[in-house]
Amino acid sequence: MKEHVHLRTEFARKSARSVTPAGVKAIRDALQYAQYSYVAGITHAFYHYPARFSAAIARAVIESFSAQGDWLLDPFMGGGTSVVEGLALGRRVLGADLNTLAWFVSRVRTTPLSQRDALGLLAWSAQVGALHSKSERTASSPVRNLPRSTKAFLAGALEAVKLLETPTQQAFARCALLRLVQWALECRKTVPRRSALAEKVMNLTAEMLEGVNDFVSQCRQAGFSKRDILESRRLVCRSALGLETDPRLDATRRRPRLVFTSPPYPGVHVVYHRWQYRGRRETPAPYWIASQRDGRFESFYTGGSRTPTGESRYFEMIEAAFTSVRRVIHPDGNVVQLVGFADASRQLPLYLEAMNAAGFREWTPPGASSARLGRRVPNRKWYATMQGSIDASSELLLVHRPC
C-alpha cells in the first residue's frame, strides 16, 4: 500500500463541532504543508482537475469545523477533493457542480469496487495494452487537437470499455483513460508511443485500484462500510443556484454543518472544460473519453467572463449561490472557502459584500488574530503565510457564519 501523508489533528473529537485555536493552527500548518505536496494519495490522483486544492487543507478544515456523522456540503465540488476527504473522515457529503466532467470524476473517485470489478478492470487494461501491436487506425470521433497515435489508441481502448460488465467498471475504465491522456499530454516535447501508452494504462489501472482500496479502508476506519459510502454521499450535476430545491440532495432536511468549497476565482483564467496541448491548443477530448456532454463555453464554468460585465455577473452568481446555501446550512454551521483573485485589493471587498447580501458574516476563528489565513502563488508555486496584506497572486481562506 502506498504511503499517504495526512495531517491528523490531535484536537479532533467525535463530539466537537466548534473550531479551536488548535484547529486554526492545524489549518495553518496544512497551508504550509501544501507548499511541498501534490494532490495525491487514496483516489486524489485519479484526475488532475484544474485549480484543485490540497487534500491536506481539506482534511484539516473538515476535522476542525465538523464532527463524524455531520453533513458536509460542497456546492462547487470540482474534482471532489472535499468529497473524498469528507467520506474518509466519516462525514456525509452533499456535492454539486455544473460541469459534467467534475461530477463524473467525483463519483468514480468515491465508488467502491468489488473483487469482480477489480479483476474485470485488470483484464480490460491488459486487453487494451495489447492494442498497440495492431495496425494504427483513425478514430471515428471528431475530437480535435490530439496526437494521431494517442487518438487512435483511445479509439480502440474506448471500444474495449463497452465490453465491460457493469456501468461501474466502465466509468472507472474511462477515468483511467482520462488520467492516461493527461499524462501523455504532459510529455510536451515528444508524443508517447503506443507501446508506452499500453504499458502506462496497465500501471495506472493497478495504481487506481489500489487507491480505491485505500479509500475504502480509511472510510471503514471512520465507521463507513462500502454500502455506507454510497448512502452517505449525494453528488449531482447542477448549478449551486437553487440547490435547496433539488430533491436529489434534500439539503433542507440534512442541514450541513460545514460548507467547504472553492468557487471559481473572479477574473482568473482557468480552463475547466478543455485540455491544452502544444501552443495552448484546446481539445474537448475529456468529454469524449468520459462520455459526458459538453458544448459550453469558458465563462459558463467560471461564473463570468473577464470583462467588467462578466465580473458583475460573477458576483451576482456568488450572491445567488450562497443565498441558496444560506437556506440549507445549519444555523450553527460554518462556510469555509478557498478563493483566489485577479485583483484582490478590489475584488475581495466585492466578494465579502456578496456574501453579506447572501446572509453571511465573516468570522475570525479563535487564535487566528485579525489576519486571514492564506497562501501566495508567485510563478504558480504556492507557499503559505499568515498575512496581513494580499495581492493578485493570493488565495485566501475565508470563514463565514449565517447572520
Q: What is the pLDDT along the chain (403 residues), one digit of tens a residue?
A: 333 333 333 333 333 466 777 767 666 666 655 544 555 578 998 988 887 778 888 999 999 999 999 999 999 999 999 999 999 999 999 999 999 999 999 999 999 999 999 999 999 999 987 765 554 454 456 688 888 888 889 999 999 999 999 999 999 999 999 999 999 987 667 888 888 999 999 999 999 999 999 999 999 999 999 999 999 999 999 999 999 999 999 999 999 999 999 999 998 878 888 887 776 788 889 999 999 998 788 888 888 888 889 899 999 999 999 999 999 999 999 999 999 888 888 999 999 999 999 999 999 877 666 557 776 654 444 334 444 444 545 688 999 999 9
Residue 106 in 3-state DSSP? helix
Q: How far is CA 215 from the centre of its chain?
A: 15
**Residue 255 CA from chain centroid, whole number:** 22
Report how far residue 370's alpha carbon sits from residue 358's, in angstroms, rounded to the nearest whole number: 23
Using CA atoms, how far apart are residues 73 and 55, in angstroms rounded to an integer?
A: 16
Nearest-angstrom CA–CA distance, 88 and 170: 24
What are the helix (H) ranges across 187-307? 194-221, 226-231, 251-254, 285-290, 298-302
The domain 21-108+225-280+297-402 is classified under which CATH number: 3.90.25.10, 3.30.70.580, 3.40.50.150, 3.40.50.2000? 3.40.50.150
CA distance 175 to 283: 17
Q: Give residue 178's identity as a one-letter amino acid code.
A: L
Say what the pTM is.
0.87
Q: Distance (Å, rounded) from C-alpha 385 to C-alpha 400? A: 20
CA distance 403 to 389: 26
Separation of CA 373 from chain center: 21
CA angle 261, 80, 359 (to 5 degrees): 20
Distance of alpha carbon 226 from alpha carbon 217, whole angstroms: 9
Sequence-separated (6 or more) residues with CB below 8 Å from residue 66: 17, 72, 91, 257, 258
Domain with CATH 3.40.50.150 in the chain: 21-108+225-280+297-402
Residue spans of beta strands (DSSP E) within 46-114: 71-74, 92-97
Please give the angle made by the CA atoms of 38, 41 and 45, to the nearest 5 degrees.
70
